[in-house]
Amino acid sequence: MKSYFRELSVAGALAILLLVLAIFAPSFYSPQPLLSLSAGAAGSLVVACGMALVIISRQIDISVGSMFAVCSVCAGLLAAMHWPLALVVAASIFIGAIFGAFNGTLVAGLGLPSIVVTLATMVTWREGLRWLRQGEFVNLPEGIQWFGLSQKSGQWALVIGALGILTLLAFMMKHFSIGRFIYAVGSDAEVARLSGIRPKLTTFLIFVLMGALVGLAAIMNIVQSPQVDPQSGTGLELKVIAAVVVGGVAISGGRGNLWGVFAGLLLLACISPALTHLHIEAYWEKAIQGSIILLAVVAEGLRNQKSSNHG
Amino acid sequence: MNTDKRTRKDNLFRHEAILLIVLVAEWIFFRAIGRNFGTYDNSCDILRHSCEIGLLALAMTPIILTGGIDLSVGSLLGLCAILFGKLWRDGHLPIPIAALCAIAAGALAGGLNAALITRLRLPPLIVTLGTFSLFRGLAEAITHGLDTFTNFPNSFLFLGQERWLGIPAQAPLFIAIAIFFWLLVHRTTFGRSFRAIGFAPEGARFAGIPAGRRVAMTYVLAGIVSAIAAIIYTARLGQAKADAGNGYELFAITAVVLGGTSIFGGTGSVHGTLLGVAAIAVLQSGIVHALQPSEMAGMLTGALLILALASSVLPKTISSLRARKSALKLAKQNA
Amino acid sequence: MSGELLQLTSVTKSFGAVRALKGVSFNLIAGEIHALLGENGAGKSTLIKVITGAYQPDSGAIQIDGKDVGRLSPAIARNLGIACIYQQPALFPDLSVAENIALRLEPAAAFSRVNWNSRRTRAQQLLERIGAEISPDAEIRSLSMPEQQLVEIACALGSGARIVIMDEPTASLTQKETHLLFAVVRELRKNGVGIIYISHRLEEIFQLADRVTVLRDGESIGTNRVDEMNESSLIKLMVGREISAIYPPSEKAPGEVVFSLKNFSCPGVRNVSLEIRAGEILGLAGLVGAGRTELARAIFGVVPADSGEMFLDGEKIQIQSTQHAVARGIAYVPEDRRRHGVILEMPIAQNMTMAIHRKIFPGTWLRFGAERQMALDYIRDLSIRAFGPDAPGNALSGGNQQKVALARWLATKPKVLILDEPTQGVDVGAKSEIHKIIRSLAKSGLAVLMISSDLPEVLGMSDRIAVMRAGAITAMLPAKSDAHTVMSAALGQKGPSE
């Protein structure tokens, strides 16, 4: 029987955390801050979905933070030039897809290890952006923030939109053959090739999708404030990889699902405000994040060792 | 038959020769367009700035030779710098003792990587990604995100900022460590086993090589060297902040790959890495002196890494494409 | 329908100087189980690869359903209904049984909707048809190897394969699992499928097969109905040849017992006891899957032993790692030369010194002069053909690579030398050179354990022969045994004298 043990344990941990917060810091549950928190995490959820696909296919992409910043700034600039919002959204997604295609060409086409490729692109895009913008913010015109709706409506739109993307992708992964090909390629690329699946093309498309999702997430980000910060997206890759790994996706590829990633992201997103409400300093966040990644990987490693001893 | 003999040596020599040419070309180029580039002062500066990255790249070389990777060296530099500062300022330890403690911490941190990678057989990529975050996070936590350690005594700052016998004070230390790594990789059995493990991890084991211990050694060494780099960094800047060494791992990996070490393990050299470090350092300094923004250096380094990787794989890709084309042609002819 | 599914006529296949198939003719009828028998190296796997399209024959014709097929490729063979079930299943470990079957059988269309119900149902039906009690939702990783094989068989059935080849399917099965497999195979036969069944287990052939073809040295010796044969006649067909090659004789009587095992067990090996004396070559014969390599690896410390005792020079020892083994004077030249025996990317000289770093490079300092000299000495003594000590392993032929591997272990001055298929894939000239080297090593006092599937080699080189089967030693035979006796023991049959 396929075991959803990992996903259930994450959900359990989340439930415990929420319970602890309910008891010790009920102010966490006030509706407006909670909505703001969820809206703020919407972009990360979208990127996490993409990262899950990348990791399931046995690759990794640490350039998402830089892609996110570039897409945000580009979208902001286009909006400032009074492009219609729909075009801005399309442009951001397109730019993200181009960056993704670049990564994909190097990884799938040339067979280079994705860690080093995305390390290089991460720095290149980030430095390039810093050079062009010199840290200057982009001022957004009226009508962009919250999609031109009220803050509350805008936030709900973001949350629902992100959940919609999650559901769509989860559906695709489970019920469409392209999704199953991703699992197949991640499980054993050679067997996939022998079965008529094209691992290189699949890998390439996954990177393109990742980029497109980052572009979408960038839009979700810029509508939340009147300015675009060119430093946005710093640390996004780690946050998202942590959520994916905690959510039960195996680094070795071929297994995991998006609902577990959702639970993992919620868990991690709640930690930071939980720290605040429990009066633990925010500067512990990165250390906790790193520890969580390590714990999740060690747990997976121990589980693999156990099963290989039985096999 | 003789061509085989020349091929492998040729390839390596060719790679390092090209790198040397690139280095010289950079030098000439920046001399021409930059002010104050190429002077003795400037060269000392280049040497000074490249020490830390150079140390990290040296430590990275054995790791990549064994087919692994360590993304946490930059963060560990930051953590060790913070520990050093804290032990000196708040722990009131004398500088040398604080330095030794920081180095011990570096060794322990490297040991953490080593244990997770060799004992639990976890992939180096994700382990060092996790410690990359953890070490930086600990540095931030210890400094509460804003604390800086400054006002070091001049005798200490001498190491990073002054000259000793005409060359930058940190240079002798760097040179000594460079010699150590060169000897380790090229003149000892350890280096031999690193290559064997990189080429064929199982094959090395069948030859009686204790692969786990050797690989663990590379990560612990990286930890120690990161700590030493942290101390030099602090001396050079006169302060220790939590973001010390931010992004250095990219430069280290780029230098190693530029220098001809294969990212898949087995082939590579320490002198290649040193040339790679020189190429990057000259590039960075040259950019500044050509009055170009410093971000250019980061961009170019990223681009350089991609080019270096692609060029190492390109011959194989081209030949496999050619083989496929001719196989298809053959199949068509016979059908 | 008793049509002829497959017909091979005078198929020849050579690999360089090695003639794997010499004009083999073979046919398969629908609704029959046709066993293919022969010792290791007889040409069975080459024949199979020709049928599945992995190899192109140099000459000869292949006909499927009476029609010439010209050039076969794996894809074409699959389309023509040929399926092969190997011992290593090609399945996705992280996906379910139903999904594996579906991915194998469905065309790779990217945007079709996945119908989990029909996937599950089809998988369930296929599994039921072959009587396998496996849940279609089970993850492949959680299944045992035999269960994975059954999934492969389900795939073959589902793909409408009419020619199913099974390569040693019962090698790692228990009695119960074997019975289950037999039921499946008979079910396939009832459906008109033609099955080529490769196995070393004579009792299975008699239980299951309709006809049997014996291959020997790349030739088909004969195809007979199973009910017209008995074990003895089959074995005679398998081995009947003159042992014409000349092997270097042993001259001295062996000395003291150097190495012994008592009730030694490890994965794949049960309660093995043996002794090897100084100057003696103990041949270890047996068929694939008998457990010989597993035994060697456990002795050498690659895998830990489960129980039992090991004695070296009368002292009880425990080997926990390969470094232990080397330090104690045990050397192992592995079977997989290209992956474990020699590191192909490194120069010969470096390969040769790889096991003796402590001795030749005291204080971890490399001494290139000493290394080069040692390499030159071995190149000369073992007649290694290479352009120099700097030649990388992959520039050498198989035989010379094997000599480099030998040199590596000889340099450790071992007391016990374990050779695993020392002349596999080696040309005739180098073979005889290696034999001479092995004999002179034994003469110099080494205790040699020689694992070999080459029957003439085992008979010609060994001072004594231990025969393994299913993880245990079934016979300990003296030097001048005949092939028939050895093969019978390897097959688990009673010998001709009994």
Residues C198 and C308 in one domain: no
Q: What is the pLDDT of residue A311?
A: 36
Looking at the 3D structure of chain C, how many domains does it have?
Answer: 2
Q: What is the domain range of residue A215?
A: 5-310
Q: Which two tokens stand for residue B56?
A: 């990290």
Residue B3's pLDDT band (cuts 50, 70, 90):
very low
Higher local confidence (pLDDT), B113 or C46: B113
Each residue of B254-270: pLDDT tens digit? 899 989 898 889 999 99
Q: Which of B318, B200, B327, B268 lies closest to B16, judged by CA? A: B268
CA distance C260 to chain B (A): 22
Q: Which residue in the set B131, B141, B309 is minimally distant from A112, CB to CB?
A: B309
Q: What is the pLDDT of residue B12?
A: 57
With CB atoms and an 8 Å threshold, state whether B136 touches A290: yes
Q: Which of C91, B64, B128, B316 lies closest to A60, judged by CA? A: B128
Hey, how many other C-beta atoms are within 10 angstroms of the C-beta on C226? 18
Residues C190 and C337 in one domain: no
Q: What is the pLDDT of residue C497?
A: 45
What dihedral angle (degrees, nearest 10) is formed by the CA atoms of C288, C291, C293, C298?
Answer: 170
Exposed/middle/buried for residue A117 (C-beta within 10 Å: 0-12, 13-18, 19+): buried
| C275 found inside a domain | yes
End-to-end CA distance of chain C: 43
Query: How open is the CA angle C491-C494-C495, to the nearest 5 degrees?
Result: 95
Angle between helices C398-410 and C368-381 (to 10 degrees): 120
Q: Which of C95, C102, C177, C173 lies closest to C141, judged by CA? A: C95
Residues of C in contact with B188 (CB under 8 A): 361, 364-366
Q: What is the pLDDT of residue B224?
A: 97
With CB atoms and an 8 Å threshold, state whether C339 touches B8: no
Q: What is the pLDDT of residue B198?
A: 95
Q: What is the domain range of residue C178?
A: 4-239
Residues C174 and C320 in one domain: no
| C249 found inside a domain | no
With CB atoms and an 8 Å threshold, state whether A177 touches C141: no
- Alpha-carbon distance of A7 to A261, in angstroms, equals 8
Which of B76, B117, B129, B284 is the mutation pick for testing A, counting most A CBs within 10 A?
B129
Each residue of A95-104: pLDDT tens digit? 999 999 999 9
Q: Which residues pair with B149 in a beta bridge?
A: B240
Sorted by sequence, the CB contacts under 8 Å of residue C293 that are 6+ apart come out as C335, C420, C451
Residues C54 and C180 in one domain: yes
Query: Is B42:B287 a contact under the CB 8 Å cutoff?
Result: no
Judge whether C477 is closer than 8 Å to chain B, CB to CB.
Answer: no
| C497 found inside a domain | no
Higher local confidence (pLDDT), B41 or A249: A249
- B300 φ/ψ angles, rounded to the nearest 5 degrees: -65, -35
Judge whether A136 is closer than 8 Å to chain B, CB to CB.
Answer: no
* CATH code of C211's domain: 3.40.50.300
- Alpha-carbon distance of B38 to A51, in angstroms, equals 45
> Which of the listed residues C213, C239, C265 is the one where a domain comes to its end?
C239
Query: Is A233:A140 a contact under the CB 8 Å cutoff?
Result: no
In which residue are the tokens 């392209």 written?
A: A178
Each residue of B60-118: pLDDT tens digit? 999 999 999 999 999 999 999 999 999 998 888 999 999 999 999 999 999 999 999 99
Exposed/middle/buried for residue C252 (C-beta within 10 Å: 0-12, 13-18, 19+): exposed
Could you tell me how many helices (H) and strands (E) chain B has, helices first? Answer: 13, 2
Q: Which of C310, C150, C249, C206 lies closest to C463, judged by CA? A: C249
Q: What is the ipTM of this complex?
A: 0.85
Q: What is the pLDDT of residue C494?
A: 59
Q: What is the pLDDT of residue C355?
A: 92
- Alpha-carbon distance of C316 to C95, in angstroms, equals 47
Residue B200's pLDDT band (cuts 50, 70, 90):
very high
* Percent of chain A residues topping a pLDDT of 70: 96
Residues C161 and C287 in one domain: no
**In angstroms, how far is CA A139 from the centroid of its own chain?**
25
Q: What is the pLDDT of residue B156?
A: 83
Judge whether C345 is closer than 8 Å to chain B, CB to CB.
Answer: yes
Looking at the 3D structure of chain A, how many domains does it have?
Answer: 1
* CATH code of A34's domain: 1.10.3470
Each residue of C236-249: pLDDT tens digit? 888 776 555 678 87
With CB atoms and an 8 Å threshold, state whether C326 touches B208: yes
Q: What share of chain C is helix, strand, coil (3-state, %, to 5)?
A: 35, 25, 35
Chains within contact range of chain C (3+ C-beta pairs < 8 Å) = A, B
Residues C118 and C165 in one domain: yes
With CB atoms and an 8 Å threshold, state whether C93 touches A188: yes
Each residue of B278-320: pLDDT tens digit? 988 888 888 877 777 777 888 888 888 888 888 777 777 777 7
Q: Which of C354, C380, C379 lies closest to C366, judged by CA? A: C354
Strand order in the sheet with C257-266: C269-277, C257-266, C307-312, C315-317
Higher local confidence (pLDDT), B183 or A194: B183
Residue C5 to residues A159, A210, C81, C449: CA-CA distances in angstroms?
62, 50, 10, 45
| C248 found inside a domain | no
Chains within contact range of chain A (3+ C-beta pairs < 8 Å) = B, C
Residues C261 and C216 in one domain: no
Q: Which of B149, B114, A181 lies closest to C111, judged by CA? A: A181
Nearest residue of B to residue C324, measured between CA atoms = B208
* Percent of chain A residues topping a pLDDT of 90: 41
Residues C46 and C76 in one domain: yes
| C496 found inside a domain | no
Each residue of C370-404: pLDDT tens digit? 999 999 999 999 989 888 899 998 888 888 899 99
Residue B5 has pLDDT above 50, yes or no: no
Sorted by sequence, the CB contacts under 8 Å of residue B287 that are 6+ apart come out as B293, B294, B296, B297, B300
Residue A309's pLDDT band (cuts 50, 70, 90):
low
* Percent of chain C residues topping a pLDDT of 70: 97
CA distance B231 to chain C (A): 30
B-C Cβ pairs (cutoff 8 Å, strict): 80
What region, left, alpha or beta, does residue C153 occupy, with left being phi > 0 and alpha being psi -120 to 50 degrees?
Answer: alpha
- Alpha-carbon distance of A263 to A256, in angstroms, equals 12
Which domains, ranges and CATH numbers included, belong to chain B? 16-309 (1.10.3470)
